[in-house]
Structure 1
Amino acid sequence: MPPEGQRLPLETPRKLLEHLVLRFPGREREAKAVVLGLVAGEHVSLIGEPGVAKTALVEEAARALRAKYFYVQMFEGITPDVVFGPPNIKALRERGELVFNTEGYLPDAEIAFLDEGWLAPPAVLHSLHSILNERRFRNGSKVVNCPLHTAIVASNEKPKSRSLQAMWDRVLLRLWVKPLPPDLWETYLDTYWDAHASGVVYQRPQLKLDDFRLLSKAIWRVEWRGVKEAYVRILHELVKKGFWVSDRRKGRALKAVAANALLEGRTICQPEDLFVLVYVLPSDEKQVEECQLLLEEKLDPHAKLLRRLKDLKPQVEALARSMPGDVGGIPEFVEKVKAARATIVDIQSQAMQDDRVQSLAQELLSTLDEALRKAAQMVLGDVGPVVQA
């Protein structure tokens, strides 16, 4: 654990989240789940059909963090060497010992993406379980420590086999990923085409995985007891609705709550941090909606509005940085900024007496107004402040 007086790199997860949101429009929830996993030093399960940017998002996060990254697509007949590395023939011949050359494979990775990870066969499963949960790998007669910080397990559905239930319970964050809604298709198509046809290069932040390692150790210093009663009430209500939450998961869920506080730049949990429980407590897709509705009911309505603004913040900051370099793209940019501004004004109007909502809304509006001012300067020259109706 870092020394008490050491400054925490609280800006790093926010920068990564903003970058992923800019790079993958409409994937804010997925980006947040991955970043929370990195802050907590925990694993993430992304469940959904192929082609919804799961792999690309995780690869981009690994590149931004300059982390050792390993990808593997599991299938029922996969052999251990594909996951753990080729066997050392010399050790096998001379000592009859199965030793893997692990460099560049899962035991050597810092961030891993296990595509269809729940299809791992028994020959792989035992060692995989040890790496994910203990960060250790038995290689021949030796047990080696693994540098793995976070693994993302992707699949079309949650595991059904009993042999996988213990591992499923230990994956802290779970998210059911859906195709983009129709209102985001145009934005996605623009982003996709520009990135491939126009050669647009996204400026990738130069971040460090070590910052996340530091935060995952410091997470135990986050003060969470201010939300303890609310958390216990939520657990009771979910159990009444038929949720089954293991004792282990009840405790480890607090890591997600504390990780959200750190992501927001705080070391003290607030009620809105409990909204991340929707990533932790549901065990199937139907329960996700039930959990979300309960959280919104039990947490004060202003906390719900504040959460919406905080979810919008990385989008607003990404939008402000995406101003086109030529005048031809300004009209479309201005329309997007005005639409975002209208959404924030609507949220702001619903909580006129809440200083938290008003302050954050004004911060976001100022960011958008500055973007509009710069757009006006590009078109007309220095015209001074832009006044919004």
Structure 2
Amino acid sequence: MNIQFKQIQDSLNATFFDRNHEVEALLTAVLARQHVLFIGPAGTGKSALSSMLGQIVTGSTYFQQLLTPYSTPEELFGVLSLKDLEQGRYVRNVEGMLPLSHFAFIDEIFKANSAILNSLLTLINERLYYNNGVPIQSPLMTIVGSSNEYIEEGEGLEALFDRFLLRYEVDYIKENSSFIQMMKSHTKPQVPTMNLGELKQHQQAVDQVNISDAIYDLLAQIRQALVDEGIRPSDRRFKQSLSLLQAKAYLQGRQDVSPSDLQILSNTLWETTDQKTKTKEIVKEHSQDVVMTFIERMNDEFNEILQLSNQALNGEHSQDQISELLLKGKTLSGQVQDFQAKHPARLELVDLRNRMQQELLKLTSAVIGF
């Protein structure tokens, strides 16, 4: 794991009790330049955690606003310039407002009314704000939205809900031990920081994280399994999710996406709450690390061969039986070599094959001298 992000992640986990998944989601979203939605009751620390973005990245601009049904565009996009208004131009003073911010936290985001909604949708998706028809390129990287409840059908908020690639339910602290720690804690969070330039370097590195054909195949399998259950995430959503997988791998200090990284899609690929459980099951089924499963199976089979070989060398079996075990061991080593060719970035396979070859050399010497 990158040292800077590990220190930040550890510090946030120590500060916000029982919020490991939410902390990882926040950092993943920042690295992937995507948006995250936290849904849950008041008093669960959604705003406190989200506001840390304004402290973590020095040199960045941070915007925060609570929406109500009566919120006006001025609260997010700035007041109208009176000078321009006199000349018939509706130009807003966006300095210090959402369009010119790198990060933002919008509390009760689903209270956005029609006067706010269209501009908000364009800003979130395209990073553009039209000020009197003139497009302004926004530096916006990540918006964190929060709500106490999900949207209801017919409210016209489906497009806004869809703009958030990551969606997490945040509940009250579950474990008593974490609750007691929270109650005893009186220290203010002291989270390590990085500057805006350093963050952009990390984001560029995330873009270089490799996604193998095997991962693309797994994504296609997940998509088909979801379709079979009547769950149809958009192609755009799948495409955007690639950045989450790269960011997840980067947080773990890897330069290649692993099947285990796919688990984050449990918080991405569902559209309605009744799809959440089935989506999680399908993603979990396809995100098992096939490399580690293969290594465990090879280790078990090879260890059994070594055990039988040691018994044979102690006079419990004939030389023919020992030679047969040696042949089986070489066959397993060949399987590891073939599997390694398909997963060249997994160094665990190199270690396994080296161990097998060393043990087989010892066994071959023992057979010759038997």
TM-score, normalising length: structure 1: 0.69
Partner of 1:84: 77
**Cα deviation per residue 1:322-364 (whole Å; 9 max; x = unaligned)?**
xxxxxxxxxxxxxxxxxxxxxxxxxxxxxxxx996xx9xxxxx
State the 1:117 CA deviation: 1.0
Matched, 1:101 2:93: yes
Task: Identify if the C-alpha distance between structure 1 residues 100 and 294 changes in structure 2 by more than 3 Å, giving closer, same or farther.
Answer: same
Structure 2: gaps spanning 5 or more residues: 294-345, 352-370
Partner of 2:21: 29
Indicate if the aligned counterparts of 1:111 and 1:151 stay in contact, CA closer than 8 A: yes
**In 1, Cα distance between equivalents of 2:169 and 2:282:** 18
Letter in 2 for 1:164: L
Indicate if the aligned counterparts of 1:272 and 1:304 stay in contact, CA closer than 8 A: no
In structure 2, which of residues 202, 209, 216 is the aligned counterpart of residue 222 of structure 1? 209
Moved more, 285-294 or 166-175: 285-294
**In 1, Cα distance between equivalents of 2:289 and 2:127:** 41
In structure 1, which of residues 61, 66, 72 is the aligned counterpart of residue 65 of structure 2? 72
**In 1, Cα distance between equivalents of 2:45 and 2:202:** 27
In structure 2, which of residues 189, 214, 224 is the aligned counterpart of residue 236 of structure 1? 224
Matched, 1:194 2:185: yes
Indicate if the aligned counterparts of 1:78 and 1:120 stay in contact, CA closer than 8 A: yes
Matched, 1:42 2:30: no
SS at match of 2:194: coil
State the 1:39 CA deviation: 0.7
Structure 1: gaps spanning 5 or more residues: 1-8, 306-353, 360-389
Matched, 1:62 2:54: yes
**In 2, Cα distance between equivalents of 1:190 and 1:111:** 30
**Cα deviation per residue 1:74-110 (whole Å; 9 max; x = unaligned)?**
12221111111222222212x1222222222111211
SS at match of 2:156: helix
Partner of 2:233: 245
Task: Identify if the C-alpha distance between structure 1 residues 355 and 261 changes in structure 2 by more than 3 Å, giving closer, same or farther.
Answer: closer
Partner of 2:162: 169
State the 1:40 CA deviation: 0.4
Indicate if the aligned counterparts of 1:176 and 1:285 stay in contact, CA closer than 8 A: no
State the 1:211 CA deviation: 3.2
Task: Identify if the C-alpha distance between structure 1 residues 201 and 220 changes in structure 2 by more than 3 Å, giving closer, same or farther.
Answer: closer
Letter in 2 for 1:132: I
Letter in 2 for 1:224: I
Letter in 1 for 2:197: D
Letter in 2 for 1:29: H
Partner of 1:132: 124
Indicate if the aligned counterparts of 1:47 and 1:155 stay in contact, CA closer than 8 A: yes
Task: Identify if the C-alpha distance between structure 1 residues 295 and 130 changes in structure 2 by more than 3 Å, giving closer, same or farther.
Answer: closer
User: What is the RMSD computed on CA atoms of the aligned residues?
Assistant: 2.6
Structure number, greater radius of gyration: 2
**In 1, Cα distance between equivalents of 2:15 and 2:196:** 19
Matched, 1:211 2:194: no
Instruction: Give the number of aligned pairs.
Output: 294
Q: How does 1:135-150 map to 2 (within 5 A)?
A: 135-150=127-142
Partner of 1:12: 4
State the 1:286 CA deviation: 4.2
In structure 1, which of residues 245, 266, 270 is the aligned counterpart of residue 258 of structure 2? 270
